[in-house]
Amino acid sequence: MEAGSLTEVRGGRSILERPSRWRRVDPMVRIALTGLAALILLLIAFFFVRLFVEAKPAFDRFGYAGFIFDNNWDVSKSIYGAWALVVGTVITSAIALVIGVPVAVAAALYLTELSPRRLRAPLTVTLELLAAVPSVVYGLWGIIVLAPNLRGAEQWFTDTFAFLPFVGGTVSIPNYFVAGLVLAIMIIPIVSAISREVMATVPPHDKEGALALGATRWEMIRMAVLPYSRAGITGAAMLGLGRAIGETIAVTILIGNSPSIGATVFSQGYTLAAVIANEFGEAASDPIHRAALIAAGLVLFVLTLIVNGIARVFVNRASRGERAAVPQGMAG
Amino acid sequence: MRTTKLLAASTAAALALGVAACGSNDTSPTSGDSSSSSGGAKQGGTINGAGATFPAPVYTEWAARFKDQTGTTVNYQAIGSGGGIAQFTAGTVDFGATDAAMKPEEEKAAAKKGTPVHVPTVLGAVTVSYKVQGLDKGVKMDGKTVADIYLGKVKTWNDPAIAALNGGTKLPSTKITVCHRSDESGTTKNFTQFLADSSPEWTNGPGVDKTVKWPTGTGAKGNDGVAGCVKQTDGAVGYVEQAYALQNKFTTAAVKNKEGQFVEPTLEATAAAGVGASPPADLKFSTINAPGAKTYPISAVTFLLVYQDMCKAGQSPAQAKLTKSWLNYALGDGQKIAPELEYAALPDAIKAKAQAKVDGLQCNGQPIGGTS
Amino acid sequence: MSASVLPAVDGRRRAKDKLARGVLLGLTVLALVPLVLIIYYLLAKGLGAWSKTFFTSDPTGRFLGDPGGIRSAIFGTIEMVALASVIAIPFGIGVALYLVEYGKKTRFANVVRYFVDVMTGVPSVVFGLFVYIVLVVSQIGGTFAAWKGAVALALLMLPVVTRSAEVVLTLVPDSLREGALALGAPRWRVITRIVLPTALPGLITGSLLAIARAAGETAPLLFSVAFVFGLQFDLSQRMNSLPLQIFNDVGQAQDRLVERAWGAALTLVLLVLLLTLLARLVQRRSRLA
C-alpha cells in the first residue's frame, strides 16, 4: 500500500472521515440497546409487582405468616394455608440434595482427577445429556418405570427400618422419596458441571506439591482439591437446590398430590409448584383460590431468589480464588 | 462461512420435513373434511368446551361423529367439573360441562355474563373399582363401609366390616390403597354425596363437595388418573365412571342401594336411577341414592353449561349457532349413541324439558336461528 | 519444614486410596445409570409407538377407537418455539451487546446483569403464572392462544440467551475492536462487521441451547395455551405441543395412550438432542472456543 493512500482525497475529504450520515447511527444504536436493557429491568419489576398485587388478597385474608405456616389447604372451604406444600417442597429438595450432590461431586472429581484422558470428553458429554432430557419425560419415566419398581425395595426398607423416624407404615407408589430421587437425577448435571469448572481452577502447584510429598491420589484430592473447591461446590449445590425447588412437572407426576404432610418419607405429599400446576384451571373464576395459587408462586419465587442469591455469593467467592484454610500437615 | 452453510442445510431440512408432513394424507378417522356422510353444505367451524371427565368418553365419541355429520370440530378439554365451571364463568369456552350443578355462589360469579343454563345430557355410574389379587368382581359394599375406607378406618381388604357384608367369600389381607381425585370433580361431589348419606362421620368430616380434604390416599387428575392409580397398585380402590372401569377391565363392587339390595353398576341399573326423577325448573337434580330395588345407588347425571343469552355473554352469533346445534345433537342422536358406552340416555320426560331449555336459548334477545 | 511431612505410603493408606477411587468411580457410574435406563426405555417403549400414522395423524381424543398420532403436537411445538426464538434471541443478544459494548462496568449495567441472573433462577411455572395473569385472564386477544405460550417460552429463553451471549461477546478480543476503531469505523459498524461475525458461532450455540430448553418445557404452556387435539397453525388459537401431549397422556390408564406418550417423549428427546448436538458442532467451529 502506498504511503499516501490513507490521506487520499475523495471529493475533498479523507477516506478516514466517516460519512456524516453514519454519525447519526451510532447514538441511535446506543439508545436502542440501552433501551432493551432497560426493558428487561422494567419487565422484571412489572413481573414482581404484578405477582404481588394478584397474590395480595390471599395474604390479606390469611396473613403472611398464616398463609405460609398454617397447615390447612382446603379448597372446598376456601381456606389456604400452605405449610404442607412448603414442607413438601423442602423435603423433596432436601432428598434431591442429599442424594444428588455427593454423586455429582464424585463424578466431577472422577472426571477432573482420576479418569483416563481419553474417556474424559465422552463421559462429560454423556453426563451433560442428562440435562437435555425434558422434565415431562423424567416424570413419564419416573412414574412408569422407576416408582413401581422401587416399591418393593421401599416396602422392605420400611419394614426393616421401621424404628427410624419418618419410616414405617404403608408405602405409596408416588411419594416424597421417588420425587426427590428423580429431582436428584435432574440436578446432577448442573452441580457436576459447576463443580468441574471450579476444580479445574485448582492451582497445579498445590496438587503437584502434595503428590511430590508422597500423597496418594485420594489424599491429594482431600488436601488440595476439595478445600480449594469447597466454596464453589457449595455454590453449585445451592444452584442445584434452586432448580429442585422450582421443578414442577416431574414432581406433579411423582408426588401423589395429597395436600397434607405425609407421615413417612414414602407417603404422598404436595409441593408449591405442583399445586399451582394442578389447581390453576379450576381457580380461573374463584378470586381467592387464584390469589392463593399466585401467592404460592410468589413464595416459590422468593425461595428460589434467596437460594440463588446465596449460591451466587459462594460461586463468586470461589471464582475470585479465595483459598480455604491451609490444611494441617502441609504447614511448613 | 461453513457455519452459515450448516445452518442453511438444517433450515432446508426442517422446511422439507414441514412440507412433507403437511402434504401427506392423514388417515385419522376424525379429520373429517373429506369423509363421507350426509350430503349438503356442512356447517364447519370450531367450538371449544371444557369440563367433567365423567362424561368425557361419550362426549368425545359424540364430537367425532358430530364432526363427520356436520364438519364442526368440538374441542372438548376434560379438566374436571371445577375447571369446566371456572372456564365457563371466565368465558374462555363456548360451553362448560359438569356433573355437579353450580352452587349459588358460583352462579353469582357467573351472573355478570348472564344466567347459566344446565342442560342434562346422560346418566353414568360411579363405580367403586378395585384391583385386588384374589378378589373377584362383585364384592359387596355399602355406603358406610366405603366411607370408612376413605376415612382411613378400614385398612385391609379382610377387615371385619367388609367381611360382614361378604359372608363366606375369602378376602385377602392386602392393604387397601385409596385413590381419589386431586382436582375439583363432579364425580367426587356425587361420590361424597353418596358417602355422606350413610356416614355422619363423613358428613361432619370431609363433607360433600367437588373437592374435599381427603383423610388418606393418593390424588390423581381426572377419572382417567384415578383409573391409572387403581391399575398401578395391588389392593387399590378408586371411584371411576363405568366407561373407564370397563375399558380397564376393573372389578367393580356391588353397592347397597336405598332398598337394601346390592346392585352392580350396569346400564339398566344406571338407567333405573333416572326413572321417576322429577327435576325442578332449573333442571338441577341429582340421582344419588335414587329409589328402586334395581337401582344402582351411585348413578349421576351430568350437565352441559351454556348462558341463557349466549351472545350477551360474549359469544359471536355464529358460535352461538354452532353451540346450539351441538346441544341439539347431544339431546338427539347423542342419546342413541350413549348406551354404546354404557351411559344411560335421559328419560323421555326429562329429555323433553332439556330440549325446551335448548330451544329457549337466545342470542341478543332473539332465538338462535336454525338448528343442526 | 519438618523432616517427615507424611509417613511413607503404607498398606493402610494405599487401601484407603483404592477404596476412595473405587467409590468415586462407582458414584460416577451411578450418575450415568439413570441416563442409560431412560434411553433404554425411551427406545424400547417409544419406538413401538412410531409408525407412519403416528406422525401423520392428530390425536383424536376419542375414548374408543383410534387414539391417533402426534402430528399436531410436533407442529405446535415447532411453531411456538420458532415464535419464542424470534422474540427472545434478538432481544437477548441486544441486551448482551449493550452489556459488553456500552454498559461494561457501569452501575446500570451491573443492575441489569443482576436482574438477568435473577431471571435465570425463576421457576418456569412462575413464568407461566405471570403470562396467565397478564395475558390470559385479561383476555387480551382472546383467551388461550399459542402466541401467549410463545411469549411465556420467550421469557424463559431470554436470560439464557443473554447470559451465554454476554460470555461469548466478552471473549471477542478487544484488540479487534480497537483496531477497527483506530481505522475510523464507527462503533455500530465495529459491532456489525467485527464483533458479531466473530462471535457468531458462540451466539448460535447459546441460542440453540436455549431453543432446546424451551422445546422441552411444559409448565409455561399449561397456563397459556390449553390443550387441544386438532392440527392448528393459527397462532391466535389454542395449539397442541409435544410436552403438553405427553403430560396429558402420562396419567392415563389406557395402555395405548401411555404408549403414545412414550413415542412422543422419544420424539421430543430426539428433537432436543438434535438441537444440542447441533449447538456443540457449531461451537467446535468457533474461532473463539
The x, y and z cell numbers of residue B267, run together, are 346400564
Alpha carbons B314 and B95: distance in angstroms, whole number:
12
Identify the pLDDT of residue B14: 52
**What does the mean pLDDT of chain B come to?**
86
Is the CB of residue C204 less than 8 Å from the CB of residue B7? Answer: yes
The dihedrals phi and psi of A311, each to the nearest 5 degrees, come to: -60, -45
Mutate to test the interface with C, among A249, A257, A293 (most CBs of C within 10 A): A249
Alpha carbons B102 and A288: distance in angstroms, whole number:
18
More confident residue, A77 or B30: A77
Identify the pLDDT of residue B23: 39
Nearest residue in chain C measured CA to CA from B91: C143
Across residues B163-171, what is the average pLDDT? 88
Reported confidence tier of residue C11, pLDDT bands at 50, 70, 90? confident
pLDDT tens digits, one per residue of B63-96: 989 999 999 989 898 889 998 998 899 888 899 9
Smallest Cβ distance to A132: which of C133, C134, C272? Answer: C272
Alpha carbons A282 and B173: distance in angstroms, whole number:
38
What is residue C141's three-state secondary structure? coil
Closest approach of C106 to chain B, Cα-based (Å): 34
The x, y and z cell numbers of residue C131, run together, are 403470562
The dihedrals phi and psi of B50, each to the nearest 5 degrees, come to: -150, 150
Identify the pLDDT of residue B34: 37
pLDDT tens digits, one per residue of B124-136: 999 999 999 988 8
Alpha carbons A329 and A91: distance in angstroms, whole number:
39
Reported confidence tier of residue C187, pLDDT bands at 50, 70, 90? confident
The dihedrals phi and psi of B44, each to the nearest 5 degrees, come to: 60, -160
- Please give the C-alpha separations between residue B320 and each of A27, B51, B110, B307, B315, in angstroms, as whole numbers: 55, 18, 18, 10, 6
**Along the 332 residues of chain A, how does pLDDT read in single tens digits?**
444 455 555 566 555 556 666 667 888 888 999 999 999 889 888 988 999 999 999 999 999 999 999 988 888 888 899 999 999 999 999 999 999 999 999 999 999 988 888 988 888 888 888 888 999 999 999 999 999 999 889 988 888 888 888 887 778 889 999 999 999 999 999 999 989 988 888 888 988 998 898 888 898 999 889 988 888 899 899 989 999 999 999 999 999 888 888 888 898 899 999 999 988 888 877 889 999 999 999 999 999 989 988 888 888 877 665 444 334 333 33
Lowest-confidence segment of C16-20, C118-122, C226-230 by average pLDDT = C226-230
CB < 8 Å from C in window 283-312 of A: 284, 293-294, 297, 300-301, 304-305, 307-308, 312
Alpha carbons C186 and B167: distance in angstroms, whole number:
94
Q: Under 8 Å CB-to-CB from B263, ≥6 apart: which residues? A: B254, B255, B256, B257, B269, B294, B295, B296, B297
Mutate to test the interface with A, among B85, B218, B307 (most CBs of A within 10 A): B218
Is the CB of residue B76 less than 8 Å from the CB of residue C239? Answer: no
pLDDT tens digits, one per residue of B334-366: 999 999 999 999 999 999 999 999 999 989 888
Identify the pLDDT of residue A330: 39
The residues facing A71 across adjacent strands are A82
Q: Extract the runs of DSSP E, i.e. beta strands, from chain B.
A: 46-51, 73-78, 95-98, 116-131, 140-141, 177-181, 218-220, 236-241, 251-252, 254-256, 262-263, 299-307, 344-345, 362-363, 366-367
* pTM of the predicted structure, to 2 decimals: 0.87
Smallest Cβ distance to C63: which of B21, B57, B73? Answer: B57
Mutate to test the interface with C, among B35, B75, B94, B233 (most CBs of C within 10 A): B75
Interface pTM, i.e. ipTM: 0.89
- Nearest CA to A86 among A275, A281, A294? A275
CB < 8 Å from A in window 228-287 of C: 243, 246-247, 250-251, 258, 261-262, 265, 268-269, 272-273, 276, 280
Residues in chain B within 8 Å Cβ distance of A279: 183-184
More confident residue, C229 or C28: C28
The dihedrals phi and psi of A30, each to the nearest 5 degrees, come to: -60, -45
Is the CB of residue A225 less than 8 Å from the CB of residue A207? Answer: yes
What is residue B252's three-state secondary structure? strand
Identify the pLDDT of residue B186: 93
Closest approach of A316 to chain C, Cα-based (Å): 13
Is the CB of residue B126 less than 8 Å from the CB of residue B343? Answer: no
Identify the pLDDT of residue B8: 52
- Which string of DSSP letters, residue by residue, matches C40-89? HHIIIIIHHH--HHHHHS-B---SSS--B-SHHHHHHHHHHHHHHHHHHH
Closest approach of A155 to chain C, Cα-based (Å): 21
Identify the pLDDT of residue B43: 81
- Nearest CA to C90 among C203, C193, C188? C203
- Please give the C-alpha separations between residue C139 and each of B90, B92, B314, C9, in angstroms, as whole numbers: 9, 8, 12, 74
No. of helices (H) and no. of strands (E), chain C:
13, 0
- Nearest CA to C75 among C146, C165, C12? C146
pLDDT tens digits, one per residue of C73-102: 999 999 999 999 999 999 999 999 999 988
Alpha carbons C48 and C52: distance in angstroms, whole number:
12
Question: Would the CA dihedral through B80, B81, B83, B87 be positive or negative?
Answer: positive
Across residues C184-188, what is the average pLDDT? 84
Lowest-confidence segment of A121-125, B238-242, C55-59, C62-66 by average pLDDT = C62-66
pLDDT tens digits, one per residue of B285-306: 999 999 999 999 999 999 999 9
- Is the backbone of residue B303 left (phi > 0), alpha (psi -120 to 50) or beta? beta
Is the CB of residue B151 less than 8 Å from the CB of residue B205? Answer: yes
Chains that touch C (3 or more CB pairs under 8 A): A, B
Alpha carbons A278 and C129: distance in angstroms, whole number:
12
Instruction: Calculate the CA dihedral of residues C278, C279, C281, C286 and round it to 10 degrees.
Output: 150
The x, y and z cell numbers of residue B51, run together, are 369440563
Identify the pLDDT of residue B37: 40
Whether B274 and chain A come into contact, CB under 8 Å, resolves to: no
Burial class (CB in 10 A: 0-12, 13-18, 19+), B119: buried
More confident residue, B371 or C44: C44
- Is the backbone of residue C143 left (phi > 0), alpha (psi -120 to 50) or beta? alpha
The x, y and z cell numbers of residue A212, run together, are 511430590
Q: What percent of chain B has pLDDT over 70?
A: 88
Identify the pLDDT of residue C132: 87
A248/C124 Cβ within 8 A: yes
Nearest residue in chain A measured CA to CA from C110: A37
Whether B290 and chain A come into contact, CB under 8 Å, resolves to: no
Query: How many of the other CB atoms lie within 10 Å of CB of B353?
Result: 16
B28/C68 Cβ within 8 A: yes
pLDDT tens digits, one per residue of C160-180: 999 999 999 998 999 988 998
The dihedrals phi and psi of A35, each to the nearest 5 degrees, come to: -60, -40
A141/C38 Cβ within 8 A: yes
Which DSSP category does B291 fall into? S
Identify the pLDDT of residue C105: 87
Q: Under 8 Å CB-to-CB from B77, ≥6 apart: which residues? A: B48, B49, B50, B51, B83, B93, C226, C227, C228
Is the CB of residue C60 less than 8 Å from the CB of residue A155? Answer: no
Residues in chain B within 8 Å Cβ distance of A74: 213
